[in-house]
Amino acid sequence: MIIVMAHGASEQEVDAVVARLAERGYQSHISQGVERTLVGAIGAPEGEKEALAEQLALLPGVERVVPILRPYKLVSREHAEQPSVVRIGKVPFGRGQVAVISGPCAVENEQQMLEAAQAVQAAGAAVLRGGAYKPRTSPYVFQGLGEAGLEILAAAREATGLPFVTEVMDPRYVEIVSRSADALQVGARNMQNYDLLREVGQADKPVVLKRGVAATVREWLQAAEYVAAAGNLNVILCERGIRTFESETRYTFDLGGMAAAKLETHLPIIADPSHATGNHRLVPPMALAALAGGADGLMVEMHPHPDRALSDGPQSLTPKRLIGLMDEVRHLCTALGLTLAEPVG
Ligand code: PEP
Ligand code: MN
């Protein structure tokens, strides 16, 4: 970090900064400019920097403290020679390989999920989704089937061969969800649940980490760093819209943020235009925009009968609409030189 001294800071004030750095085991490098003195802190032990920067900024004569390194390491581009590939089951995401994850918002019953899985497969999407544990805004509405939902998802996988991703909301359930799911989803509402991030970081399944509705790109990457630091580098980030003043769409699909995150991290990033827009009519154009903008895949909600869905019907594609979208996705992938994963079977 660099400590920028205020204009006119005294020699004693600079000395006090240097002394404080020495006390904490750092060396200093002073550059005396015409207007300002800068003190570079060298050899800062990781983990102490943030607090020390805040403390130094309070010393007399200090104008501000500028961090040099990013607050994440394992997930940063610098940590890897090339973009990472993360697989859900056998389906690869990243480095020019894209795949579509589709299925209903929630697992409702066996019939619905089987129909959904068959429709996903028929349309050519390679990974199935469905929530067994649902983070609902109201405590009075359908909360998901829990463990029974996991069994239904496993049966749908058995019938079609599609791997599935499903959300885990609580560190206590990571083990049980890991036992059946091919990937663990951490939802937007839990992006900063650090106990949960640490727990999925110890699981032996890939993690789909959604961006929090009010999280900056940096906070999102720091959340991924929690998972990575706990030992799991198989993280797929998912842009799903953020909260802004705009009310025409459910959230605001932040493709600029997604592209910015891609510059920073080697992890694959997928996009979820369903939760971002909340409107099935907006899903196809935004799905294509995301792929054109560099997304490594898509998560798209589809319900066999959106008009009977227990959650997120308005943003769910019908099976027929998913087929239409997949046709467009195929064309776009060809144009962009991307390899689209085909469903097994
Ligand atoms: C979901 O994918 O079912 C979901 C609840 O998404 P989010 O966490 O992005 O709201
Ligand atoms: Mn949903």
24 C-alpha to center of ligand 2: Å?
49
Residues of the chain with pLDDT under 70: 44, 345
Contact 202, 231 (CB under 8 A): yes
5: helix, strand or coil: strand
Ligand 1: atom nearest CA of 240 is 9
Sign of the CA dihedral with 102 first, then 105, 106, and 109 last: negative
Ligand 1: atom nearest CA of 135 is 5
The dihedral over CA atoms of 54, 58, 62, 67, expressed in degrees to the nearest 10, equals: 0
Token pair in block for residue 230: 């706990």
Contact 322, 80 (CB under 8 A): no
Residues with CB under 6 A from ligand 1: 105, 131, 135, 167, 187-189, 210, 240, 275
183: helix, strand or coil: strand
Beta bridge mates, 92: 87
pLDDT of residue 327: 98
318: helix, strand or coil: coil
The residue type found at 283 is: V
Question: Candidates 186, 243, 275, 315: which one to mutate for ligand 1, based on the most atoms within 8 Å of Cβ?
Answer: 275
105 C-alpha to center of ligand 2: Å?
4
pLDDT tens for 43-64 read 867 778 889 999 999 999 999 9
pLDDT tens for 105-142 read 999 999 999 999 999 999 999 999 999 999 999 999 99
- Residues 6 or more apart whose CB falls under 8 angstroms from that of 336 comprise 291, 292
